Structure 1
Amino acid sequence: MSEGYQIRNQSAPHFLTFTVVDWVDVFTRKSCRDIVIESLKFCQKNKGMEIYGYVIMSNHIHMIIQSNDGNLSNLIKDFKSFVAKQILEEIESGGESRADWMLKRFEFAAQSNSRNSKYQFWRYGNHPEEVSSEKFLWTKLNYIHMNPVRAGIVNKASDYLYSSAANYVGGEGLIEFELPSNPIIDVLRKERFNFEIDEW
């Protein structure tokens, strides 16, 4: 974790980015995206994870989460470790046509650090930013939800299945969670970001 981006308040919500080593496009596979979704649900139910928003892109994940148990660092470690283990098993099982190439990249990355075993799946560091205000929260949520739009995957953020945009627009997404209250949502979304809610 780079200096200046550390989790100092373990109970506060943080904006985080988890990136696959070498930007390998692991999450183009539905099975790998589903592993992330199921892992988030498990952490919600069993590890005190509070979710405010997320998006799964082809090679990275953005999310805003909080630890109800007051130990966000351990929660992140457990989540990333489990997801990496499950996805590596999925790749090794033979369902991935690029398996040899991917595993060689992960193996090569692991050689650069003694903390690794055979493979390194995630890049080190999560670039954590503490959510210290409502304005910051909604700025980051808009950034998260617009990722697939900026990438040209969808025209409306809520059309992207593997993000929380649909939770905020229609109330239904792959993961259920309680939405944060926001009395100035219209001002932030319509004036600051210059797009209407129904364009999501």
Structure 2
Amino acid sequence: MHLQHARQGQMETALCYFYTDTIQDFKPLLADDECKQICIDSWKYLTERKLITIYGYVIMPNHIHLLWMMNDLNGKESPAGSFAKFTAHRFKQLLTIKDPESLQNYHSKKTDRAFQFWKRDPLAIVISSKKALLQKLDYIHNNPIQEKWNLADLPERYRWSSADFYLTGKNEFGILTHYDE
């Protein structure tokens, strides 16, 4: 199977992507549930406006994985760009209040921004078959139970993933669409 890689802003609409975005320098920013909720809030906004469709996700301590589709631009920017911008802004707000010293860990050397939370150029791979989608969904759901992470004993017991949705149908955050829909 041929895999197509795309840059964040260059994902095409109506194609499903396996998407990975990582926190700068692999810092465990997303170990904080408030930071995880910021990601959920952004996805909720984008799904409610039908700009994205999410088929699967996991929020790990220092990265995220998504199976998603871009449906339309959010104004002039891609939904992925909107997600990165919104979450970075909210991370900065949260850290300013909660842990101002840790904010220094995210100082940017770039002239166009003071802080950098997400690594540049997240991975986006077009999913070209149901088999590939199911393989990536399995990978996403099993990420939290890997020995390296040990975040749950079963995939469906990790709250910050779509595993429970596919087992029980429960869509806790209201952001998921079943891949068969």
Q: TM-score, normalised by structure 2?
A: 0.87
Q: Determine helix, strand or coil for the equivalent of 1:128.
A: strand
Match of 2:180 in 1: 181
Match of 1:23 in 2: 26
Structure 2 unaligned segments of length 5 or more: list them: none
Structure 1 outlier segments of 4+, above 6 Å? none
Match of 1:130 in 2: 126
Match of 1:189 in 2: none
Match of 1:145 in 2: 141
Contact 1:47 1:75 in 2 (8 A): no
Which one has the largest radius of gyration? 1
| Residues 39-64 of structure 1: CA deviation (Å, up to 9, x unaligned) | 11111012521000000000111101
Task: Tell me which protein shows more helix as a share of its residues.
Answer: 1
The within-5 A match list for 1:1-200 is 5-6=5-6, 7=10, 9-69=12-72, 74-93=78-97, 95-96=98-99, 99-100=100-101, 102-107=102-107, 110-111=108-109, 113-114=110-111, 116-150=112-146, 151-176=149-174, 177-181=176-180
| Residues 60-100 of structure 1: CA deviation (Å, up to 9, x unaligned) | 111011022278x711001111011001100001x23xx41
Residue identity in the other structure for 2:84: K
Higher RCO (C-alpha under 8 Å, 6+ residues apart) = 2
Residue identity in the other structure for 2:161: S
Change in Cα spacing, 1:5 to 1:145, as seen in structure 2 (3 Å) is same
Distance 2:19 2:72 in 1: 18
Residue identity in the other structure for 1:52: Y
Residue identity in the other structure for 1:167: F
Contact 1:22 1:105 in 2 (8 A): no
Change in Cα spacing, 1:41 to 1:8, as seen in structure 2 (3 Å) is closer
Task: Tell me which protein shows more strand as a share of its residues.
Answer: 2
Residue identity in the other structure for 1:16: Y
Contact 2:127 2:133 in 1 (8 A): yes
Q: Percent identity?
A: 28
Distance 1:11 1:160 in 2: 29
Residue identity in the other structure for 2:20: T
Contact 1:167 1:173 in 2 (8 A): yes
Distance 2:92 2:73 in 1: 29
Residue identity in the other structure for 2:78: N
